[in-house]
Amino acid sequence: MSPLEPVENKKVAIELTDQNGIVFTAQVNAKSWRKAETSASEFADWAGAVSGKLGQRTEKGFEVVDAGIQIFEKKVKESKPDVAAAEAGASS
């Protein structure tokens, strides 16, 4: 993760592209970006979210206004025993 470019008001510009090729551009606080980078480097597996309001249409997609960014650690789900298999074994 690295910002695309620094912009005014201590923010950085980022671009996100969805699975349909629509590009979302946003400006996030540089401090928030640095925290997100740190979190991403500390987690073995992570996911991120950008929040904000959908703004103006751009040439390739949309602008995200009042954007914020957050990184979450993806935790491995514990496998639950198969209830149907347990019931089948109990009635045999």
Q: Are 52 and 12 spatial neighbours (Cβ–Cβ below 8 Å)?
A: no
At 78 the pLDDT is 79
Domain positions in the chain: 5-91
Q: 21 — phi, psi (to 5°)?
A: 85, 5
Q: Return the percentage of the chain with pLDDT > 70, whole number.
A: 82
Joined tokens for residue 35: 């925290």
How far is it, in rounded angstroms, from Cα 86 to Cα 76? 23
pLDDT above 70: residue 89: no
Rounded-to-integer distance, Cα 46 and Cα 61, Å: 25
How does pLDDT run across 28-72, given as a tens digit for each residue?
Answer: 999 999 999 999 999 999 999 999 999 999 999 999 999 999 999
